[in-house]
Amino acid sequence: LFKPIISGTVARTTTEANSGFGFGIYYWMINLGAFLAPLFVSYLKGFSWSYVFTASAIYCALMLLPALFLYQDPARPASTWTLAEVLGSAAMVLGDARFMLMIFIYSGFWILYFQNFGSVLWFLRDFVDPAPVNRFFASIGIPFSFDAEHVTSINAGTIILLQVVVSRIVKNWKPLPTMIMGMVIGAGGFVCLAFASSAWILVLGIAVFSIGEMTAHPKYYSYVGLVAPADRKAVYMGYAFLYGVIGSLVGSNLGAAMYEAMLKPLVGQTGISPEIRNFWLIFAALDVVAVAGLVVYNRFFAEDTDTSNRLARRIMIVIYAGLIVVGAYFFYSSTFDVETISFRTLVQSLIMLIIGVGGLIISGKRR
């Protein structure tokens, strides 16, 4: 709920000249928390997991203080909408075929990102010896045990160190070409994972992917903020977060299924480098497909014309139909095909079903 509001505020208070840098700062702050939290978790879980959840609740409560006493709403645009008009406008965004097409193409990149919360962690546990990293920290007098929670810290730490620098470099670059470049760099990170014969190469792969992420993602927000109507920026920003729903639902389930089929049977075996390489290169190839899609989008759909809107609408009708099929599959598999209901997958599948059905209805009315 709060991320679209924050990103909508950034979009409203920045201009075309500084929006890329503004969203870079916003993204930097998000990752500051993502860097620190796993370090606290690593410490607190040594006592009890209940300490972890209690601390999380306290942190969330503390966030209310600056929101209540320091935050000020930005100036409203000249035209304001009633709640009913906002809800109606939110539904009509599904009919903005060019905008929705860009989101679905960009979601391909986030299939890779969500491997950081699944297959990368299992790969570290089953195939990577953390001893070289642990020895390095021991040599400088820091007791440290490289574990799964530190993967997120590598991603966030890289962004903390380099986000402002990268944002400065790309601040005057056009959003779509910059997003394409970031996605290409991200694919390079997964190529590194394909050859991760040591823990340090794993760290390098995560860091390289993070550089691609910090290059592409703030420009994505910047692009959405620039194309959104002034009085509907928060609505568009809300839809912009669909990349996470799609990336998480598809990426998490795809990664788990692939790992179960391709790598888990190989645990404890030797001479399996080709199998490991193929696993990670499949994800790199998925990113290349998304890059190709965004290149085509930049060439044929970036400009708002009758031809580009008509073609995008036809493509989105197919995508919306696909969302209904995929959403129905995950709804069934998370509810009726398991012993315990997977509520996260259930909610995500319902979102996909709602978007798919709503998109088909609205697209049909606009034909």
Over residues 81-124, the pLDDT tens digits come to 666 766 666 677 778 888 888 888 999 999 999 998 889 899 98
Strands (E), the chain: none
Task: Report all structural domains of the chain as residue ranges with CATH numbers, in order of start.
Answer: 2-66+84-302 (1.20.1250.20)
For the entire predicted model, the pTM comes to: 0.79
Over residues 12-67, the pLDDT tens digits come to 777 767 766 777 777 777 777 777 777 777 777 777 778 888 888 888 888 888 88
Give the pLDDT of residue 239: 78
Burial class of residue 193 (count of CB atoms within 10 Å of its CB; 0-12, 13-18, 19+)? buried
What's the pLDDT band for 367 if we cut at 50, 70, 90? low
Give the pLDDT of residue 306: 87
What is the Cα–Cα distance from 347 to 331, expressed in whole angstroms?
8
Q: Which residue has the higher pLDDT, 63 or 261?
A: 261
Provide the token pair at 233: 């920026």
Over residues 118-148, the pLDDT tens digits come to 898 999 888 888 888 888 888 888 887 888 7
The string of DSSP codes covering 285-328 is HHHHHHHHHHHHHHHHTSS--HHHHHHHHHHHHHHHHHHHHHHH
Burial class of residue 318 (count of CB atoms within 10 Å of its CB; 0-12, 13-18, 19+)? exposed
